[in-house]
Structure 1
């Protein structure tokens, strides 16, 4: 008998028909003699609808009260799922995050999981119940409800799998697995049978909206085998596991991220320590910086450009505005009409010429590169947002051909 954790996203449980379809997937797994823990997201656009309701009342509501509101979406989803499983004639119980033992930090809206105490889950499994758990949420040391931020239900599922030493953690979504590019945008995208943790983590971080990057990081840390598959079709998905078991490919995928902005500090005095001071100030405000480019010094000054998430743009500009004058720089400017396009693949580490192939495809398509960032298994370029979809297509065609 195996322990299987199954997570279903909002699109998988969007309406009554889909809830019953998921209930059949869950109960079929249970009938095969497995213990089953189900993690669910809020139905469809429920979270967005709750945010809209909050804005009608108080657009500046505290993050604590927003968490109290938003956790209701998953509670509704979990109870409805339990009702469907119950109607099919199977023993089931639904649990809120705190009942399932999720203890988190106090960062409302973006809490981190400190630990999972799964005693209640174990007791329910011992009773032969299917256990349905609300994803995306937990409780902090003040006994307040907290949410885990975007993609938090993936992280909830992997945390349960890690804590309970599950045999498999399945992430059900609206695509059939992990593809070499977004199959909704690139018609010849290929589904991967396997991908390594490191490659999946890079793709998730770089904009591939299949798995949350925190969940992949946790799965790698605890050696949890993941399967990404569709709840809409009965087909095998993509296995995420250690690299030595993964099929060898030059690159595993092309990803696009529109949620970026480029910030440039112009005329920074060419003195030691100023870059350190600038980025230390940003780190103190929890601003994550990605691609960084520093020009060669000229006339005693240099320019420093870097990218941040678009949601951090205003905070970064507010922070740097007065500071730029203090250090003697000329100005700080931004561009939020940019996109980051990346290729990821463990194969590129031992194959020279991957970068030139990528850049050639962009040159042939007359797409200008603004910034470049590389690692052992990743190459990212910053380009104009209007060129992003075309860039993904031409890069994919260059590496995979038309078939």
Structure 2
């Protein structure tokens, strides 16, 4: 049996936690199983590296940032190999270059293209625990790339798929997936299981437990995930294709306070204008989420959308630089926004779910700025200061 285990930064934050993780992996190894471990950078190391970069250059290139940030995971895996060696178990640490984790060349947000498994399989045949850096890859020019925050989850799932692993376990500082972030919603409950589609929506909408691309990969390659705590032996949450029938129509509430709204005003009401706007953003690798187009007044209309708060200035500058002056009348933008969503496969077959959410927000005196829906999700944009109150209101409305 081959098991892939991923541990987040909190799980390897200091010496004692590194030794704890080493012992848990050795327990699996001593059952006779092959073990591949994927690690994030220790504790707040990534944030510390970002801060050091800002001290040197307030606007560093993304290529050099990726070169810097990959050192965090390399520190984790080498220390883990040392810990296992001290406990008498053979282990080897490998970075993305040594594994040959091939990615695209989009610095800070690369995607995995393929993984060469020969080196890992060779080390496993020698009965070693293989410890691999998460969050990083190498492009076709041999430059280091990173996969975005939470990218170690994606590394683990990609490895599990490439190696045809029997299990993929994601260890974190919480003991599973909850109906909402328990730090924001005190009544949140742990789910025993959740579908890929629901988890993908939750992850994309800010749930924070799993990286959204990891869930995409898991669904595509039918990798069953288990999310559990590295601090306890409790059973976690299984992420899979189908789940048993639930008592509630929705599985959870998600909140994401990393949002900004941009409105392009007075856009000409002719074919191709939406393409011109979003093509500019695509060329700058700016992800757009919620989109709202007004019906229009005369031959003009407004197009509003959301981006990550850190991309707001880049997006606005790109639009001002590349859209013809006569194609629009102005651009409004505001940060300090948040998205609150209800998610669940039950939304497909039950009417009135959106109305129930909107009533809860109305009763909590929360103003809705934008609305977006999918088959299993309803998302609203609210002021950032209202996010937690909105999450609690929605969670209570559905008695999760």
The normalised TM-score by structure 2 is 0.96
Shift of 1:264: 1.3
| Cα contact 2:4–2:160 (8 A) shared by 1 | yes
Partner residue of 1:279? 278
Judged with a 3 Å threshold, the aligned counterparts in structure 2 of structure 1 residues 322 and 39 are, in CA distance, closer, same or farther, namely closer
Q: Report the more deviating stretch, 294-303 or 167-176.
A: 294-303
| DSSP-derived class of the 1:336 partner | strand
Q: Deviations over 1:379-400 (max 9, x none)?
A: 0001111111000001101111
Secondary structure, in 3 states, of the residue corresponding to 1:180?
Answer: coil
Distance 1:111 1:380, change over 3 A: same
Q: Which deviates further from its counterpart, 259-268 or 384-393?
A: 259-268
1:326 aligns with 2:342: no
- Counterpart CA distance in 2 for 1:260 and 1:45 is 23
Q: What is the match of residue 169 of structure 1?
A: 168
Residues in 1 aligned to 2:57 and 2:385: alpha-carbon distance in whole angstroms: 35
State the match for 1:316 in structure 2: 315
Unpaired runs of at least 5, structure 1: none
CA contact (8 A) 1:41 1:74 kept: yes
Asked if 1 retains the 8 angstrom alpha-carbon contact of 2:280 and 2:322, the reply is: no
Q: How many residues align?
A: 399
CA deviation profile, 1:179-218 (whole Å, cap 9, x unmatched): 0000111111011111111110111001110000111111
**Residue equivalent to 2:253:** 254
Q: Residue 346 of structure 2 corresponds to which residue in structure 1?
A: 347
1:146 aligned partner: 145
How do residues 186-265 of structure 1 correspond to structure 2 at under 5 angstroms?
Answer: 186-243=185-242, 245-248=243-246, 249-265=248-264
Contact 1:203 1:255 in 2 (8 A): yes
Report the 3-state secondary structure (helix = DSSP H, G, I; strand = E; otherwise coil) of the residue aligned with 2:77: helix
Measured against aligned partners, the alpha-carbon deviations of 1:67-88 in whole angstroms (never above 9, x if no partner) come to 2222111111111111111222
2:273 is equivalent to residue 270 of structure 1:
no
Give the structure-1-normalised TM-score. 0.95
Q: Hey, what's the Cα distance between the residues in 2 that align with 1:201 and 1:148?
A: 17
Structure 2 CA distance for aligned equivalents of residues 51 and 283 of structure 1: 25
CA RMSD of aligned residues (A): 1.6
What residue in structure 2 maps to residue 121 of structure 1? 120
Provide closer, same or farther for how the CA distance between residues 135 and 323 of structure 1 changes in structure 2, counting only shifts above 3 A: closer
